[in-house]
């Protein structure tokens, strides 16, 4: 098949891209495979010095063979084994790690045919914190919202005019979550402070060379460099105008697994997939 879309069964963006592909190509050339079908497939994945070769027989009878796959729109965030639901937590975790490791290796073996490629431990695109992604954006030459994070708001006061967030334990587990706080209530608590923005965010989508919604040529070039640095041809970049200074557009968030917005974004992803499939994608 020429186009393969991999996604969770509730991934609306993947379904929109699949729908657009189906309107242009015959059914035999386009397939949508939900994550749970991959997990239930019969696998044969071989690796040696000649490379990787994989064949997956799906429960519905379809067969995914490396030689027949043209390009993959990869939206997988997790592949879970439903028949392990009643297993012990340790067995369930082990099974989860194992199937995830297999899928990562399969996708890696497909090389540049996969958009976005896996980056262990993530199945699709890099799994990085927002701080890391913002630093990557800055290193790609994009203007970025400044961030100040400290274990103690008193030991390291945030600059004036920053929006303040305080850390708290999430309900039911030892994980940190952040919520708006005032300086007076922070005390010695951890603080994350970010340069104030006007609160009118604009969504940009990188899809290969195209940047939908760009604010200008510098932003377009910066988004392309960021995509290259993260090895992510499809990337959401959110920008907003800073309150301070000249009010220039600054990156506030980066996502390698974006929900697609207007139809122009679906068209841009479609153009990228078609270019990859036909080998006509211009160099980045």
DSSP letter string, 54-118: EEEE-TTS-EEEGGG--EEEE--S----GGGTTS-HHHHHHHHHHHHHHHHHHHHHTGGGEESPB
d(CA 127, CA 119): 7
CB of 267 to another protein, least distance (A): 31
Which residues lie closer than 8 Å to 108 by C-beta, 6 or more apart?
A: 52, 117, 118
147 interacts with another protein by CB under 8 A: yes
Pick out residues in 48-77 that bind another protein (CB under 8 A): 48-49, 51-52
Residue linked to tokens 């190509």: 25
Q: Which is nearer to another protein, 208 or 227 (CB)?
A: 227
98 interacts with another protein by CB under 8 A: yes
d(CA 198, CA 145): 12
Q: Which is nearer to another protein, 25 or 43 (CB)?
A: 43
d(CA 124, CA 73): 9
CB of 244 to another protein, least distance (A): 13
Q: Name which position in 16, 36, 45, 225 contacts another protein (CB under 8 A).
A: 45
Token pair belonging to 6: 């991999």
Q: Name which position in 19, 68, 131, 198 contacts another protein (CB under 8 A).
A: 131
Ramachandran sector of residue 242 (left: φ over 0; alpha: ψ -120 to 50; beta: rest): beta
CB of 13 to another protein, least distance (A): 25
Q: Which is nearer to another protein, 16 or 92 (CB)?
A: 92
Q: Which is nearer to another protein, 12 or 101 (CB)?
A: 101
Q: Name which position in 100, 203, 214, 252 contacts another protein (CB under 8 A).
A: 100
Q: Which residues bind to another protein, rule: CB under 8 A?
A: 42-49, 51-52, 81, 83-84, 94-95, 97-102, 104-105, 108-109, 118-121, 126, 128-129, 131-132, 134-141, 143-144, 146-152, 155-156, 167-169, 174, 176, 188-190
């Amino acid at each position: 098949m020429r186009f393969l879309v991999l996604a969770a069964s509730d991934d609306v963006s993947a379904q929109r891209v699949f729908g657009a592909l189906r309107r242009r190509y015959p059914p035999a050339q386009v397939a949508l495979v939900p994550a749970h079908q991959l997990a239930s497939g019969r696998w044969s994945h071989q690796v040696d010095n000649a490379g990787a070769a994989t064949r997956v027989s799906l429960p519905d009878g379809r067969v995914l063979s490396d030689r027949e796959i043209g390009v993959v729109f990869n939206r997988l965030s997790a592949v879970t084994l439903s028949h392990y639901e009643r297993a012990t937590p340790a067995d369930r975790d082990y099974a989860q790690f194992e199937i995830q490791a297999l899928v990562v290796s399969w996708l890696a073996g497909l090389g540049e045919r996969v958009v976005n490629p896996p980056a262990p431990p993530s199945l699709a695109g890099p799994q990085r914190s927002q701080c890391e992604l913002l630093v990557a954006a800055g290193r790609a030459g994009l203007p970025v919202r400044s961030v100040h994070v400290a274990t103690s708001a008193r030991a390291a006061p945030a600059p004036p005019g920053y929006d303040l967030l305080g850390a708290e334990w999430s309900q039911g587990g030892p994980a940190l979550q952040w919520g708006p706080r005032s300086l007076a209530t922070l005390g010695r608590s951890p603080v994350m402070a970010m340069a104030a923005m006007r609160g009118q965010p604009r969504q940009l989508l990188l899809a290969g060379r195209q940047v939908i919604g760009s604010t200008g040529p510098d932003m377009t070039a910066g988004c392309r460099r960021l995509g290259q640095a993260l090895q992510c041809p499809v990337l959401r970049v959110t920008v907003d105008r800073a309150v301070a200074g000249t009010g220039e557009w600054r990156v506030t968030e980066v996502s390698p697994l974006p929900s697609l917005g207007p139809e122009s974004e679906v068209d841009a992803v479609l153009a990228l997939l078609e270019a990859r499939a036909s080998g006509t994608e211009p160099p980045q």
